[in-house]
A and B are shown apart, each in its own frame.
Chain A
Amino acid sequence: MPKKYDSKWWIYDQTHESLDSLVGFLESMLSSNKKYQIAMFLLVSKKDIFELFSSKNSYHFYTDFGNSNKNNSMLSFRITKKDEKKIKPDISGNVLFARTPKSEVYLAITDEPRDFVQFVLTPFLKSYYPYISKAFLSANELRQILERLESVTGGQIIADRITAHRRISYIPMQRDESGSKENRIETKESHRVWTKRPFRDAFNEAILNDEWIDKVEFRLINDSKTQMEAYFSRHGLFKFRDSISPFYQTLLPFIMEIIERKFNLYSHRSRNEKPKPSPLVIELDSDIFKDDAQNHRFIEIMKKMSYISMSVYHNNPYIHVSLVDYLDGSTFDLWVLSTNKITVVPQLRATEASVARLMNHIFERFREGTVKEYEGYVKTT
């Protein structure tokens, strides 16, 4: 347990009346200790996650519930990941979950080290899929967020490191003699890093090289001083040093608007709710499917999505595949019937978490686009 009056006691054991008061406390911790770091996940859930945590145990994790405040807007607890083979030591850490003004958006806040975030908190949250979803952000949205931070604070953002992944082209190889196995080049991505450059330059270069931005570490410079050091990832993980106020005051409401709008679009798509299909269209900014090789690349990329299986009905010149998400039973049909659109048709079950996971996979591995409602978008002529 945290020692009385250390930072952990203040964050996890102390009762915080509101998110404002917690952030005020975190701000003082960050400003007084330059090495101190706060990590924050943005999460989306249709369910009340406080009730979810208390009613449903996560497999492979132990939780010790700690403090909650009077209005039940915050809940802290300690998570332990047990190594069932008893080879590695158990990893434990504290986390504080907070409600936000958006009823379906939650924050998970921790000052624990990176190993805890990566090996305990992330898989712990994943174990509640599809009830809890990551708040996926596209590279375009990350860019909008950083632009807003600059414009509101009047500062300049210098990217210290950007992690981007290259989308490798699919090169079909001949089948082997038996015809039983199809050889192909794996669609691995390479990592590229830029340092100490204005973030716009790095983003522009990534787009030119057909790379997708995964995470960005940057400094917000104001009056030649570093006001905030931060890390933003497209999987909704944010980390802060020096200060959290510019994020909390300027960006959080903006990001929550983006997330809410997106998940509203992804919601209520299942045919169990509305028997008539409710498709979504991903509009791409170029006629990428003019090139037949892109059809093969798209299919190979979709096969690599984790925990899904795919049935390929047609792959050239148009695409029709069906997907099953084996993490929650969501099912989809994907159609490419023109050169710049992918139509996603949710079937009997289609959770918003699964739709979000699917969209993020297409955006990351194939190409980013704009998701739109099918009804009213496709001309009925």
Chain B
Amino acid sequence: MSRQHDPIQNLLKEIDNYRQTVGAILALGTILIRYYNSAFRVGHKLKPSPQNRIQSNEDVTPDILAQGINLNLIGEVKKSFPQNEEWWLSDLKQIEKYDDNLTNWVNGQVENHDLMLLTHISRGPKLRSFLERKIAEGKIQFNRPLSIIEFTRDSQISTFWHLRKSWGIISNKTLDNHLTVETINLNGENIVSELSSVLFYDSEPIMPDLMNLIWIKVFPDKATTERYMEAAGKKIIELTFTVDEVVDKCRQYFSMPDSSLPKREWIKKAIEGLVKLNRAKKLVGENYLIYYHKIGPDTLRTFVKEWLDSSQDIREFIPQPEDSTDNQTLD
């Protein structure tokens, strides 16, 4: 089987794309926090006004929120767009819901804010022309400054995240200049703590990745040292968890402060996935028994493979590799 059509490789690539996007969000956040003294949140809920054109009844959850002196930003990440351009409009319409007098900001109410679209550099040109066309046709309208920021990850001697503004205006002239003239190049080494502790944005992770994540990062902390000593690295350790317990741990340790991510339904789906793989058992209510033990040699790859094997019927829905979004390969 060629690597291009290897479903395991395809899924691992999707998982890596998700991480690359989170990395870009964190790179932008780090710059805004360090150099613009801004508060930065991922998945923070805001309240729409009654005049919201898209969604006035329910809270809105932008991917990115930044709030500082002369800098208030709401950003949405679009890592990829559907092949069919007709569907792009509905995606962009979603951003219109942030073009509103939103409340519940982190540090008090703001008078005005900018809108930002964050996308991979490979999507930038198409997105720019589509957006310009739809604005010209009057099919989409923004009353606040809107910009497109393109990102990419690149590894030469060191691994960097690059960010640049490719379209639009940012009201904060310094940031506008920073992202237009200089571009932002952030060494991954500078955000290694963030990359290890913020693992979600407002897009459902690839399911075996989420199953792996809770298996290797949340479950190991539950058993006492004595239970590990007794198991001696060989025996199964039985652990009980509730969905909420896992959600709370993930939000506490693997998400930004005040985040509503990961969503509860994602976690529930991941734990149900473990049940499907016979690695957990459903007890009463939302209690689960986890059969905790070593899975190797590569736990992530094992989950991907087991997930694919158990999901023959959904294999056709697994995303095929899109245009190369990076110059790296997963070998």
Contact = CB atoms under 8 A, between A and B. Distances in A.
B84 interface: no
A312 B228 CA distance: 24
A59 B222 CA distance: 22
B16 A326 contact: no
Interface stretch (B36-44, B94-102, B276-284, B298-306): B298-306
B15 interface: yes
B155 interface: yes
Nearest to B158: A338
B189 A341 contact: yes
A237 B247 CA distance: 45
Interface stretch (B65-73, B140-148, B169-177, B323-331): B323-331
A311 B188 contact: no
Given A272-B221, A311-B299, A329-B225, A374 B192 contact: yes
A326 B296 CA distance: 11
Interface stretch (B75-83, B104-112, B127-135, B229-237): B229-237
Size band of the interface chain B makes with A: 35 or more
Q: In this complex, which of B189, B195, B223, B298 has the most chain A Cβ atoms within 10 angstroms of its Cβ?
A: B189
A228 B155 CA distance: 53
A127 B19 CA distance: 38
A343 B294 contact: no
A345 interface: yes
Nearest to A309: B296
Contacts of B212: 311
A276 interface: yes
Contact of A343 (B1, B192, B295): B192
B297 A309 contact: yes
A141 B214 CA distance: 38
B233 A279 contact: no
Contacts of A351: 225
Interface string A354-377: 000000000000000000001000
A172 B297 CA distance: 17
A59 B227 CA distance: 12
Contacts of A131: 225
Contacts of B301: 311-312
A275 interface: yes
B223 A327 contact: no
Given A312-B298, A348-B220, A380-B34, A318 B188 contact: yes
Contacts of A380: 34, 190
B193 to A, nearest CB: 4
Given A307-B294, A311-B216, A315-B331, A378 B189 contact: yes
A59 B98 CA distance: 61
Nearest to B9: A179
B206 to A, nearest CB: 12
B216 A275 contact: no
Q: In this complex, which of A127, A277, A306 has the most chain B Cβ atoms within 10 angstroms of its Cβ?
A: A277
Given A59-B229, A343-B192, 12 more contacts: A128-B229, A179-B6, A271-B197, A276-B197, A308-B296, A311-B300, A311-B301, A313-B300, A326-B294, A328-B229, A339-B157, A381-B190
A303 B253 CA distance: 26
B16 A343 contact: no
A349 interface: yes
A200 interface: no
A303 B298 contact: yes
Q: In this complex, which of B16, B226, B233, B295 has the most chain A Cβ atoms within 10 angstroms of its Cβ?
A: B233
Main secondary structure of the interface of A (DSSP, over half): loop
11 contacts: A127-B229, A131-B225, A272-B221, A279-B193, A307-B294, A312-B300, A335-B189, A338-B158, A338-B187, A343-B189, A379-B190
A309 B295 contact: yes
A161 interface: no
B112 to A, nearest CB: 31
A130 B15 contact: no
A303 B222 CA distance: 24
B295 to A, nearest CB: 6
Nearest to B6: A179
A378 B189 CA distance: 7
Contacts of A349: 220-221
Nearest to B293: A326
B60 to A, nearest CB: 27
B328 A314 contact: yes
Contacts of A277: 193, 196-197
Interface of A: 56, 59, 127-131, 172, 179, 271-272, 275-277, 279, 287, 290, 296, 303, 306-318, 320, 322, 324, 326-331, 333, 335, 337-339, 341, 343, 345, 347-349, 351, 374, 378-381
Contact of B253 (A313, A329, A348): A348
Interface in B117-159: 155, 157-159
B251 to A, nearest CB: 12
B217 interface: yes
B242 interface: no
Nearest to A345: B196
B17 to A, nearest CB: 11
A314 to B, nearest CB: 6
Interface string B243-257: 000000100110000
B155 A309 contact: no
A338 B154 CA distance: 12
A337 B194 CA distance: 14
B216 A331 contact: yes
B189 A275 contact: no
Nearest to A270: B221
Contacts of A314: 16, 19, 328, 330
Interface in B198-228: 212, 216-218, 220-223, 225-226, 228
Closest 9 CB pairs of A and B: A307-B233, A311-B300, A317-B155, A329-B220, A338-B158, A345-B196, A337-B188, A309-B296, A277-B193
Contacts of A309: 216, 294-297, 299
A329 B159 contact: no
